[in-house]
């Protein structure tokens, strides 16, 4: 694969020419007339080729830029635990090679003939969705993630894609229907914006539904990429945040994020003191865990929201414990596109920013291991110039 990459590197120069600066003029690949012959877009990225969780460099082609599509030259893509779950087959069998990555930011390098939302040179972000089989999307605004026809960013059947599936953001570029891209304001860096496209929206959406108020006691379980954003967003809304982590080494960081208390759950007995004390709780834990023990921390008739997606998406609850808690349990999947734009703008405006570590493409495999081993602090962001 590494050899193949070299052979075709020259091909990418024309696509990568946009990667230099924050603003740029229309390139020859700029606005495409409706009758422009549609050509596949060459891309270079890192792909999983099996369930090993080891990625390799890969040259591939993306679908042509259609009338409603934009081509984004990717600047940064960050690593979400979901990337690892999916590529390892934890959520079901996958088609390989598959490029993961659904926290993507970059610069618009071309727009389809009917695109009005973006122009070449715009700063754009892409999250977990890239396309839809629906012609009109205004009816599903802000519930695209639950709407049949939506194409998720990687590993999803996509008929126009030369590989048969959507291919994600660990790559030099991406083709996205304009509806599924958001604007990245000038006053937030690309690096810090990238994690907002999944970690940000996935926690922001349910937290907004919880109608956070000043002084509300909000629990956050699992303080990784998603969890640390949940803490920061809830704190920014005035909530009293109780953060539950299994990593004692994260305590100072999390207090720095504004949490009122950090509870190191090295044993479930540590939860006892908080039973029935929280108004609301969100769990980002992406593995099987004792859900009912955490649910019991919420006051009767409060809500506990699961956003971490464990293997096979399975969450096992003790129904007796759930009954005793009288808590409503629900789950949430990312957010709609309207809300995704909202969280990006909100975080940019209020400086609610992820704590990140920039890495090069060749460090991806090591970074994945660190994510699994809970060593990430708190989001790895890949510099796309290194693909």
Stretch that binds its own copies, among 10-18, 43-51, 260-268, 314-322 (CB under 8 A): 314-322
Residue 212 binds its own copies, judged by CB under 8 A = no
Measured CA to CA in angstroms, residue 276 lies from 227, 271, 291, 314 at distances of 21, 10, 14, 25
Q: Which of residues 76-115 bind its own copies (CB under 8 A)?
A: none
Instruction: Tell me whether residue 190 or residue 329 sits nearer to its own copies (CB atom).
Output: 329
Q: Least separation, in Å, of the C-beta of 282 and its own copies?
A: 13
Among 326, 355, 374, 377, binds its own copies (CB under 8 A): 326
Is the distance from CB of 180 to CB of 144 less than 8 angstroms? yes
**According to the binding rule CB under 8 A, does residue 134 interact with its own copies?**
no
Q: Are 153 and 98 in contact (CB under 8 A)?
A: no
Nearest distance from C-beta of residue 330 to its own copies, angstroms? 5
Selected from 30, 89, 185, 321, the binder of its own copies by CB under 8 A is 321
Would strands 173-177 and 104-111 be described as parallel, antiparallel, or unpaired? unpaired
Torsion of CA 154, 155, 157, 158, to 10 degrees: 30
The count of residues interacting with its own copies (CB under 8 A) is 26
Q: Residue 317, interface with its own copies (CB under 8 A)?
A: yes
Give whichever of 152 and 378 is closer to its own copies, judged by the CB atom: 152
The one-character DSSP state at 152 is E
Is residue 309 a contact point for its own copies (CB under 8 A)? yes
Q: Is 331 in the site for its own copies (CB under 8 A)?
A: yes
Considering only residues 14, 20, 31, 146, which one is a binding residue for its own copies as defined by CB under 8 A? 146
User: Site for its own copies (CB under 8 A): which residue of 323, 350, 366, 375?
Assistant: 323
Q: Does 327 bind its own copies (CB under 8 A)?
A: yes
- Looking at the Cβ atoms of 51 and 316, the one nearer to its own copies is 316
Cα separation, 208 vs 348, whole angstroms:
17
Scanning 12-20, 127-135, 319-327, 374-382 for contacts with its own copies by CB under 8 A, the matching segment is 319-327
Segment 340-344 long-range contacts (CB within 8 Å, at least 24 positions apart): 340/125, 340/127, 340/182, 340/197, 340/201, 341/182, 341/183, 342/204, 343/196, 343/200, 343/201, 343/204, 343/205, 343/233, 344/125, 344/182, 344/183, 344/184, 344/185, 344/188, 344/193, 344/196, 344/197, 344/200
Q: Which run of H or E residues covers position 192?
A: helix 190-193
Per rule CB under 8 A, is residue 313 in the interface with its own copies? yes
**Is residue 151 part of the contact set for its own copies (CB under 8 A)?**
no
Distance (Å, whole) CA 342 – CA 122:
17
**Positions in the binding site for its own copies (CB under 8 A):** 146, 303, 306, 309-310, 312-324, 326-333
């Amino acid at each position: 694969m590494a050899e193949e990459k070299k052979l075709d590197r020259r091909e990418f120069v024309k696509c990568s020419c946009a990667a230099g600066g924050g603003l740029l003029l229309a390139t020859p690949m700029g606005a495409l007339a409706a009758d422009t012959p549609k050509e596949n877009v060459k891309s270079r990225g890192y792909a999983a080729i099996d369930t090993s969780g080891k990625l390799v460099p890969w040259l591939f082609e993306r679908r042509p830029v259609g009338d409603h599509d934009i081509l984004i030259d990717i600047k940064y893509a960050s690593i979400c635990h979901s990337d690892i779950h999916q590529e390892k087959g934890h959520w079901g069998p996958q088609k390989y090679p598959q490029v993961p990555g659904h926290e993507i930011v970059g610069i618009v390098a071309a727009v389809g003939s009917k695109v009005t939302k973006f122009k070449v040179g715009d700063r754009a972000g892409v999250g977990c969705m890239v396309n839809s089989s629906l012609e009109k999307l205004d009816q599903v605004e802000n519930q695209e993630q639950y709407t049949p026809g939506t194409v998720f960013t990687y590993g999803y059947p996509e008929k126009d894609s030369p590989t048969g599936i959507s291919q994600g953001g660990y790559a030099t570029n991406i083709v996205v229907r304009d509806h599924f891209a958001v604007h990245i304001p000038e006053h937030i860096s690309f690096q810090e914006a990238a994690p907002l496209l999944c970690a940000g929206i996935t926690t922001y959406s349910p937290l907004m539904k919880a109608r956070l108020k000043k002084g509300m006691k909000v629990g956050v379980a699992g303080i990784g990429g998603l969890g640390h954003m949940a803490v920061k967003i809830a704190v920014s809304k005035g909530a009293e945040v109780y953060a539950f982590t299994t990593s004692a080494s994260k305590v100072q960081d999390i207090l720095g994020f504004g949490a009122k208390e950090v509870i190191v759950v090295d044993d479930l007995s540590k939860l006892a003191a908080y039973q029935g004390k929280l108004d609301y709780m969100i769990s980002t834990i992406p593995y099987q865990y004792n859900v009912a023990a955490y649910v019991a921390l919420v006051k009767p008739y409060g809500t506990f929201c699961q956003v971490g997606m464990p293997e096979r998406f399975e969450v096992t609850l003790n129904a007796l414990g759930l009954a005793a808690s009288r808590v409503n349990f629900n789950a949430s999947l990312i957010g709609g596109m309207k809300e995704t734009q909202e969280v990006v703008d909100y975080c940019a405006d209020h400086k609610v920013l992820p704590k990140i570590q920039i890495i090069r493409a060749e460090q991806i495999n090591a970074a994945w291991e660190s994510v699994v081993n809970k060593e990430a602090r708190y989001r790895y962001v890949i510099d796309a110039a290194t693909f």
